[in-house]
Amino acid sequence: MAARTHTRPHSAPRGGVGTRLPWWALALPVLAFVTLLALVLNPSDAHAAAGEPAISHLVERAQQLIAR
């Protein structure tokens, strides 16, 4: 009875083809994160529409929780 041998699957080449991202693929998420963080830290700069007190209340509550 012959022993069974297992062959390893071929791994992907390590040439680095297709691994580079354009500059904006990192810059845009970072810019969005910084903008949203600035709005959370200082919501008085964000001009919310009238009639939405629930959102401003939620932001104030989040600030209180963060400040503790």
**DSSP element (H, E) containing 29:** helix 24-41
Q: What is the pLDDT of residues 6-48, one digit of tens each?
A: 676 666 556 556 678 888 899 999 999 998 888 888 766 556 5
52 or 67, which is more confident: 67
Higher-confidence residue of 28 and 67: namely 28
Cα(64)–Cα(44) distance, integer angstroms: 15
d(CA 20, CA 11): 19
Please tell me the distance from the alpha carbon of residue 37 to that of residue 63, in angstroms, as a whole number. Answer: 12
Tell me what pLDDT residue 16 has: 56
**What pLDDT shows up at residue 28?**
93
